[in-house]
Amino acid sequence: MLNPELIASKPEDVGIDSERLEAVFARARRDLDDGVLPSAQVAVARNGKLAGMRTFGSAVQGGEGRPATDETLYSIFSSTKAVVGVAVWLLLEEGLLKLDERVAEIIPEFGTNGKEVVSVEQVLLHTSGFPYAPLRPEFWGDRQTLLEAFGRWRLNWEPGTRYEYHPTSAHWVLSEIINRRTGVDFREFIRKRVTEPMGLNELFAGLPPEHDARVAEVRWVSEAVEPPGGWGEVTPEAVLRFNGTEARRSGLPGAGGIASAAELAMFYQPLINGGQTVDGRQVLKPETIAFGTTVRTEGRHVDPVWKIPANRGLSIVVAGDDGNAFMRGFGRTCSPVAFGHGGAGGQIAWGDPETGISVGYCTNGFTDWLTVGRRVTAISSLAGSCAI
């Protein structure tokens, strides 16, 4: 459960309109009332504190079907990428890493099959050229097998020449960069340097066994309709592997985070408030956040699936001012400088520096991609207009 000191007594105390907040909750609940989803959780934060949170429905937790509560945790899938990204921002801030460094200079095992030229920046931007490099789920927790896989991976294009989303491969590389440059396992580094300083004790990269029974098991609740661009790694079968211990323990750096919607919303509060928590702790420097959220894929880098500019910062997505923010996981009321990273199944995670609002939304139900898109836009748009 979120630290009580991070929870506002009432929404208005942090500049959130209660009626508008209830509209967010009502839209989240609608999918449960209509039988579209088994459970969902949504949270809105502002001015360093949680304004409100609701949990709806039921889910299998610890092998038993029961009502989902505010204590229920969810797989956040690719929303994990922003958490790993912020850990990398810290390395950049502290001079432990440079964007123009070649990955092979840090991880010699990676420097094969033309990958010797891949830079750290390209990995962070999904322009590095190995979007579907494989690592089977049974090896997600096996570092030696991962390093051997690095050596086998091949390029699909010349690094830096195009953008294509890397579902998991890029963040496996980033996790190993953290391991090597800090001497600390990336999961421990994230806990000690990112989530704990933010006051977030239940945003996990690598779930401890004692919390297994709180996690809502993922399930498909409608026919699995293939999305534009194909399934890639996110196949119906692969999604269900996130119910296993390999995914939960490994902290799969591109997709394996586990959290509540409240912790996900609160993760963005320091990031949109100059790197500072509500109690004055400085987690990151403001200039580091500005550096990390600068769009670096302008011009030639277009998303090959959606045919819109990728609008990528360092391991995050920026809403942008081109009218396509809703296609990037934001709402129509978000400012162009809002940033974050959604996740498979319709997880929502973003913060808006202009309004001070941040949002987390989690569900364990996988539906067709059209339903997901409409839900993400609707909830994000309502949340983005909650400020008084």
134 or 196, greater pLDDT? 196
Average pLDDT over residues 363-387: 93
Report whether pLDDT(113) > 60: yes
Q: Tell me which residue has tokens 């940033």.
A: 339
Q: For 48-76, how does the pLDDT look when each residue is reduced to its tens digit (9 = 90+)?
A: 999 999 999 999 999 999 999 999 999 99
Beta carbons of 253 and 80 less than 8 angstroms apart: yes
Listed residue (184, 244, 182) closest to 217, CA to CA: 244
pLDDT of res. 135: 86
The token pair that represents 73 in the structure block: 């945790």
Report which of 269, 292, 259, 275 is spatially closest to residue 352, judged by C-alpha positions. 269
Cβ atoms of residues 31 and 376 within 8 Å: no
Residue-wise pLDDT tens digits, 166-181: 999 999 999 999 999 9
pLDDT at 228 over 70: no
Residue pLDDT, tens place only, 296-353? 998 779 998 889 999 999 999 999 999 999 999 999 999 999 999 999 989 999 999 9
Query: How confident is residue 6, by pLDDT bands cut at 50, 70 and 90?
Result: very high
What is the rounded CA–CA span in Å between residue 211 and residue 74? 11
Has residue 233 got a pLDDT over 70? no
Q: What is the mean pLDDT of residues 182-192?
A: 98
Interhelix angle 261-271/80-93, nearest 10 degrees: 30
Cα–Cα distance measured from residue 223 to residue 135, given in angstroms and rounded to the nearest whole number:
26
Domains delineated in the chain? 4-76+207-384 (3.40.710.10), 86-186 (no CATH)
What element of type H or E holds 42?
A: strand 39-46
Bridge partners of residue 387, in order along the sequence: 16
pTM of the entire predicted model? 0.95
Q: What pLDDT does 369 receive?
A: 73
Write down the mean pLDDT value for the chain. 94
Give the DSSP letter of residue 361: E
C-alpha span between 220 and 122 (Å, rounded): 34
* Measured distance CA(315)–CA(340) in Å, rounded: 9
**Residues 72, 260 contacting (CB under 8 angstroms):** yes
The conformation of residue 214, written as its DSSP 8-state character, comes to G
- Cβ-proximal residues to 256 (8 Å cutoff; 6+ apart), any chain: 75, 80, 140, 205, 206, 242, 247, 248, 250
For residue 49, the cross-strand partners are: 46
Is residue 138 packed enough to be buried (19+ CB in 10 Å), middle (13-18) or exposed (0-12)?
exposed
